[in-house]
Every structure is written in C-alpha cells, then in structure tokens.
Structure 1
Amino acid sequence: MTPRPRLSPGLLAVLSFLAAVGPFATDMYLASFTEVARDLGAAPSSVQLTLTAFLLGMGTGQLLLGPLSDQVGRRPVLVLALSVFAAASIAMVFSPSIEVFIALRLVQGLSGAAGVVVSRAIAVDLSEGAAAIRAISLIAMFVGLGPLLAPPVGGAILTLGDWRAVLAVLAGIAVAMLVLAAIFVPESLPREARRASGIATALGAFRSLLADRGFLLLMLVFGLAFGAMMSYISASPFVGQTILGMPPLVYSLAFGLSAAAMILANLLNARLAGRVPATRMLLIGASLMLLAGLAFTILWLTGALTIPTFVACAFTLTGGTGLVMSNASALALARAASARGSGSALLGAGQFAMGSIGSPIVGAWGEHTALPMALFVLGCAALAWAGALLAPRQ
C-alpha cells in the first residue's frame, strides 16, 4: 500500500499558489481594458465580456473537474487541466480579435478552475480537524493576497509595455503553476477511495451532498459571505470615489486595507484552530458581517456615512467574510469525506452564483447611492448569520 503523502508546508504553499489562479487571471489585466478595446477595435462592453467569460468558465469548470477528480484522482485532473490553462494563456498573448480573446478566456476559466477546486480537495484529503482548518485558512490567506498584489503588478507592467506584455506575464505564471503541480503535487486520493466513473456517479454525488442538510447549510453560508463581499467590491469604486469623493490613491489604500483584513482574519483563524471550535469562529465571522451590514445601512440612511466609517465598515465586512468562508468550507468538506472534489465544486459553484447575482443588483440603481450595496450586504449577512447559528456542531 502506497504511504499517504504529507501536507508539508512546501506542498501547502504550492496548493495556495494554484488556488490563487482567479485573482491573478482577473485583477492583473483590469487596468489594460482600455488598451485592449483600442488595439482590437472592440467596444468596452465586449472587453468586459472577457472577464465574464472567465468567471463563467471558473464556475462551470469546478462543477466538471471536482467530480472528475473524485473518479480518476486529483493529480491527473490537476496536471491535465493546468496544461490546457497554460496553453490558453500563451495563445491569449497573440489574440488577433476580441472574439478569439473571449473564447480563450472561457477556456482559461474552465481549465484554471482545477487550481481552485482540486487544491482545496487535496488539502482536506491530507488533513483533518484543526489541521484542515489551518490549511484552508492559509490557502484563503494566500488567495487574499491576489487582490493586493495583482493590480499594482499589472499596472507596473503596463507602464513598461502594453496589454500583451501583461498577458505574457500571466502566461508565465500559468506555466509556473503547471510545472509546480507536475513536480510537487502528489496524488492524495488512493485508488480504493475513488468513486466509479461516469456522469451518473457525479450527479449522484451532487444529489447526496445536497441532501445532507448540514453540507447544504454550510454551502449556502459560504456563498452568502462571498456574495456580500462581491457586492461591496463591485460598488466600492462608486461609493468611495463618486459619492464620498475619495482620491484614487486614498481609495486604493482603503481597498488594500480591506483586503488585508481578510488576510489577518485567516491568520487568526489558523492560529486558533483546535483551540476554538470552527463553528464558533464561523458564528463570530457572520456576526462581524452582520455588524458591518447594519452599520452600512444605518450610516447611509442617516447621512452619516463618511470616508472613515466606510473604511471601518469595509474592514469589518471583509474580516468577517474571511472567517466565515474558511470555516464554512472546512466544515463542509469534512462532511463530504467520500466526495471532496464534488463538495469543493459545489462550494465554488455557490460562491460564483452569489457573486454573479450581487454585482448586477447593486449596479442596477446607478452610481449615486450606497443603499443597494448596504441592503444586499445586510441581507446576505443576516442569512449567513442565521445559517451559522444553525450549522451542525462537529
């Protein structure tokens, strides 16, 4: 019998890097949108579709690749998918038209989803209890670095080159992910623990997990937390700069501070794992989210929302979100012991579904009111708090 691999600090670092595929592939090239539109003769809305296509691919890819990794093993799915991701990333540098660019972004999302869904499954395959919570928290902390590092790196590259140079660096990152996965990531799912192949088996795993009230509740809490954070992220440029008059530098610093709150929350969560029950940390995080939602709403309705209070609310929200998402995912995957790839896929699908709902709802009221953002955050936080309160103790 092959010895079980160990979740070493080095392996955890590699898995964290692979899980950060989303922030790297989205945030690094956002500053290049206007150049892409000009050089490819595309409308701004068409360039926006490159982001939509990637996110759609990430959500769909998790639903496909998660169950597949339960059937054939984690490593082959991860390496093959990242090979496609690297190839699509290289081809994207030479995109001759916006249509080709959009198609490659969809392929990139579908294949890059493996970095998220399989890495999370491997981490929980090789750990349990407090160790699993620490692993998920540290992965989430590294992913949280993406929004801090990717935009300035992308902007710096843009000052030295053009949008294709930014994509070339992204392609280099994709190749690095493939090489690291091929060399350092072992197979974490023994043959005897794999599920039978076939679509029916995958659908059966989904049905079984969704029939588990505890898993379903934790999946919803996980998605609601992400939805609340995404509604803040999508509305923050308008609330911060248009309504409150924050200069671009101040806004960037404030946004970075809120991202840092998620990193600090996950560091704290990793440190307290095993000493404080995960369900209690989940409830604490949901309570912080609810506090932020109430404060956002009351401050806006009373006309007391200022730059300092906006930053404080955002810091509280993202810190609470970090605690909720790490503990909800660790607890949910512990319940999906026989199908962690499928469980990770459902978590990712719920996350992207809530994120895709929040942004258009918040944006539908225009850029001169913070009320939709405040109410959406409050609604998601209240439901997440109720779910955390009812979460099964394990």
Structure 2
Amino acid sequence: MSSRFLQTAIILGLLSAIGPFAIDMYLPALPTIGADLAAETSAVQMSLLAFFISMALSQLFYGPLSDMLGRKAPLYGGLILFAIGSIGSALAGDIDTLVAFRFLQGIGASAGMVISRAIVRDLHTGVDAARLMSLLMLVFSISPILAPLTGTAIITFFGWRGVFWAVLLAALVGMVLLATSLKETRPPAMRVESSLGAALAAYRLLLKDGNFLALTFIGGLGLSSFLVYLANSSFVLIDHYGLTPAQYSIAFSINAVSFFSVSQLSGWLAGRYGLKHVVRMAVGGYAAAMTLLLVAMILGFQSLPVMAAFLFVGYGFLGLVLPTTGVLALEDHGAIAGTASALMGTLQFVAAAIAMGIAGVFFDGTALPMVGGIAACAIAALLLTQLSLGRRRGRTQTEIPAEVPAE
C-alpha cells in the first residue's frame, strides 16, 4: 500500500468525519444541554435531527456543484459554513437558536461526506475502491471512539459550549489539509458537460436505476439503525442504566471499535469473494444479531451487558455493509460520481431521519423502543438485499473474486 494511498484515505476520512465529530462529541452533553437551556428531551433531540435533515438535503447541491466546479471549491464552501454554524451554536442562548445553527452546521458538514465518496470514485473502482473506502471508514470511525471521550473531557472543563469551539478548530484544520495536501481529482476537461440541466438528467437516470437505489437503501437502512442508536443511546445508557457521561463515552466507543476493525476486512473479502457476496453475508449477519437482541429483550433479558454484547457483534457486520454498498452503488456512475454520491447520501440520511423520528415517537426512557427501531431497520435491509442481490445465473464483474495468490 503506497504512502499516497494512505495519505488520501486519512485526509478524506478527516474531511468526512468533521460532521459526525460534531455529533458524537456532544452526545454525552444532551441531558445537560436540556437542563441548561430549559428544554425538553424532544427539543434537544431536535438539534440532532435538524443537523441530519440539513446534511441530507444539502448533499443534493454539493454533488452537482462538485461535478461542475471540481471537488475542492465546494469543500471550502462547506467548511466555511460549518465554521459559522459552530460559532453560532457555541453562543446560542436558547434551544431554538441552537437548532438553527445546528441546521447550518449540517449544511456545511455534508460537503465533506458527499465529495469524499466522489473522490474515491474518481481515483479507483472495484476492489481498490473498496480498500480505499474501508481505510476512509477507518479514519471516519475514529470519531465515535475519540469524540465522546474528548467531548466528555471538554464538557467537564469548559461546559457543552466548548464542544462547538473544538469542532470549529477541526474545521480550520480541515481547510489547511485541503489547501496543502489534497489535489483536485476532477480536472476542467471533465467538467465541460456538467451543468444544472445535466445534473437534473443524472438524477432522473439514477432514480430509474434499480441497482443503484437498492444498494443505496441497503446501506441507508444500516446507517438508519446506527443513527437510531446514536439519537437515543445517551438517554438510555445515562438516564435508564445509570452510567456516568464518561462511562457512556466508553460504552459508545466499544461499538465503534467493532465497526472499524471489521470494516478493514472489506477489501480483502471483496477481492476473495466478490463485493455482492460480502454485502449479502454482512447484511445477513447484522440482521441476525439485531433480531436476536430484540427477542432477548422482549423475553426479559434487558441487562446492559446483554445489549452491549449483541450490539458489538452487530456493528462489526455493519462495518462491512457501509463501505461495500457505497462502492457498488457508484461503480457504474463514474462520469457523474459527485451527483450519484449526493443522491445516495441524501436518500440515506432522509431514511435515517425518518427512522430516528419514528423511534423518537415510541421512546419511553427504556432500551426496548431503541432496540426495536434498530432491529426493524436491519430486517428491512435483509429483505431488500434478498430481493435485489439474491444469487442469479451468472455474475457481474464485481461478484467475480480476484485471483488470490498462493501463500
């Protein structure tokens, strides 16, 4: 693996992780924010939901812009908006102001997420793309490990507002890396045919592509299940199970370790068995783990160790689902990679926002509604996988394993 390959993965991972870092760092403070701003739990969760909604919808604009203007200019714009949103959130005096600036933050954060995937497609396809995407996910997944722990430390010494000053610094670092260490991957010659009309035509084409939509929603349902956990876990683990914010940060980080550790196998597994086979296996394992967890909790096994064990196993499988479905969805759309990545991200985050909203309606302070939402998403992903990626006669190129050299 070349140093350039690794450097690209690190930079793209950092740019795409800035937004999630802004979420994960302040999760331990959600109950505190509610008390400080005299806001109910539903209002505090709205600051999280607003972030996701804006991050989902704004991707539709960043994708075509990155095809028309190149990848770097929209990235700069997104980081600037994210920085403004961070400053406003840090200075917010009431929950409505916080929600408004979190919405702006989400608009900025989406640039790194959608354009990073497009850059991966600019540079590689197939197994190489899966390897780069898995490395990007490795950096991206450090956020759920370090962010809650870092957030807890910052909150302890500086209060919850300190979290937003910290992510402002992360955005500034991202600008420096973008300026000094990342080359433009969509040169002017490739932008000639890109326009607003072409983007609309591309969206129509993608919305008629059943394979693209199936892979997008398989990954989206996996993402939805994780975000249901993310939106509810601090209230469940801190208020229901009695963990301290520091203990919650550790518990949250353990799942991230499982996710990113297993995700590093995606390139090797794809080379040996084919990307579609990996997706089928990973979704099946994830659905099995989450369904068993739901059954165990319904039967009365609701202790924290039981839930933590099943989540650890399940999120390991999820670490294979997200990078492989992303690579497969973009495989045939290199000429419109930015637009395709944008639509994929938007559809996934809209699905996640809906799932979070539904789970929030049933939230009663216990773990069961959260686990039910996670399991429902996992089962839906399995059904969609079986309908769209079931074994057929003959295999596409992405299903044919690469030759594995003898040891």
Q: Does TM, scored on the shorter chain, surpass 0.5?
A: yes
Aligned-partner Cα distance in 1 for 2:119–2:365: 44
CA contact 2:224–2:348 (8 Å) conserved in 1: yes
1:59-70 equivalent positions in 2, closer than 5 A: 59-70=56-67
Letter matched to residue 25 of structure 2: M
Residues 31 and 235 of structure 2 are in contact (CA less than 8 Å); yes or no, is this contact kept in structure 1?
no
Match 1:178 to one of 170, 175, 180: 175
Are residue 157 (structure 1) and residue 151 (structure 2) matched? no
| Aligned residue runs from structure 1 range 255-294, under 5 A | 255-294=252-291
Deviations 1:346-384 (A, max 9, x none): 221122122212223223334365554444333322332
Q: How far apart, in 1, do the equivalents of 2:40 and 2:329 lie? A: 42
**Residue in 2 aligned with 1:363?**
360
Further displaced range: 178-187 or 296-305: 296-305
Equivalent residue pairs, number: 388
Equivalent in the alignment of 1:79: 76
Q: After superposition, what is the alpha-carbon deviation per residue over 1:121-162, rounded to whole angstroms, capped at 9, x for unaligned?
A: 112211121110011111122222212111221221222223
Equivalent of 1:147 in 144, 147, 156 = 144
RMSD (Å) for aligned C-alpha atoms:
2.7
1:52 aligns with 2:49: yes
How far off is 1:385 after superposition? Answer: 2.2
Give the drift of 1:263.
Answer: 0.9
Q: Which residue of 2 aligns with 1:226?
A: 223
Q: How has the CA–CA distance of structure 1 residues 81 and 228 changed in structure 2, closer, same or farther, with 3 Å as cutoff?
A: closer
CA distance in 2 between partners of 1:374 and 1:45 (Å):
19
> 1:211 and 2:208 equivalent?
yes
Question: Cα 1:233–1:104, aligned 2, differ >3 Å: closer, same or farther?
Answer: closer
Q: Percent identity?
A: 34
Q: Which residue of 2 aligns with 1:347?
A: 344
Of the structure 1 ranges 198-207 and 57-66, higher mean CA displacement relative to structure 2 is found in: 198-207
| Structure 1 equivalent of residue 299 of structure 2 | 302
3-state SS in 1 of match to 2:273: coil
Q: Residue 367 of structure 1: SS of its match in structure 2?
A: coil
User: For residues 386 and 247 of structure 1, what CA distance do their matches in structure 2 show?
Assistant: 35
Q: Quote the residue 1:129 is aligned against.
A: 126
User: Cα deviations across residues 181-239 of structure 1 (Å, max 9, x unaligned)?
Assistant: 12222111133333645433222111111211111110110111112222334444566
Provide the residue aligned with 1:19 in structure 2: 16
Q: Does the CA contact (< 8 Å) of 1:361 and 1:372 recur in 2?
A: no
Query: What is the one-letter code of the residue matched to 1:353?
Result: V
Between the aligned partners of 1:214 and 1:26, the Cα distance in structure 2 is: 31
Structure-2 separation of matches of 1:33 and 1:301: 27
Q: C-alpha deviations, 1:254-279, integer Å up to 9, x for none?
A: 33222211011111223434223111
1:118 maps to which residue? 115
Give the alignment's TM-score, normalised by structure 2: 0.85
- Pair 309,105 (structure 1): closer, same or farther in 2 beyond 3 Å: closer
SS at match of 1:224: helix
> In the alignment, does 2:135 pair up with 1:138?
yes
* Distance (Å, rounded) in 1 between the aligned partners of 2:252 and 2:120: 29
Q: Report the Cα distance in structure 1 between the residues aligned to 2:126 and 2:35, rounded to whole angstroms.
A: 52
| Contact persistence 1:279–1:388 (CA under 8 A) | no
- 1:239-258 matches, cutoff 5 A: 245=241, 247-248=243-244, 251-258=248-255
| Preserved CA contact (<8 Å) 1:290 1:382 | yes
Structure 1, unaligned stretches of length 5 or more? 1-5
Out of 101-110 and 62-71, give the one that drifted further: 101-110
Q: Give the letter aligned to residue 151 of structure 2.
A: G
Larger displacement relative to structure 2 (306-315 or 330-339): 306-315
User: Does the CA-based 8 Å contact 2:290-2:311 persist in structure 1?
Assistant: no
Please identify, of 13-22 and 145-154, the stretch whose mean Cα deviation from structure 2 is larger.
Answer: 145-154
Q: Deviations over 1:68-126 (max 9, x none)?
A: 11122111111232233234434544446554443332222112211111111112211
Are the structure 2 counterparts of residues 159 and 307 from structure 1 closer, same or farther at C-alpha, using a change threshold of 3 Å? closer
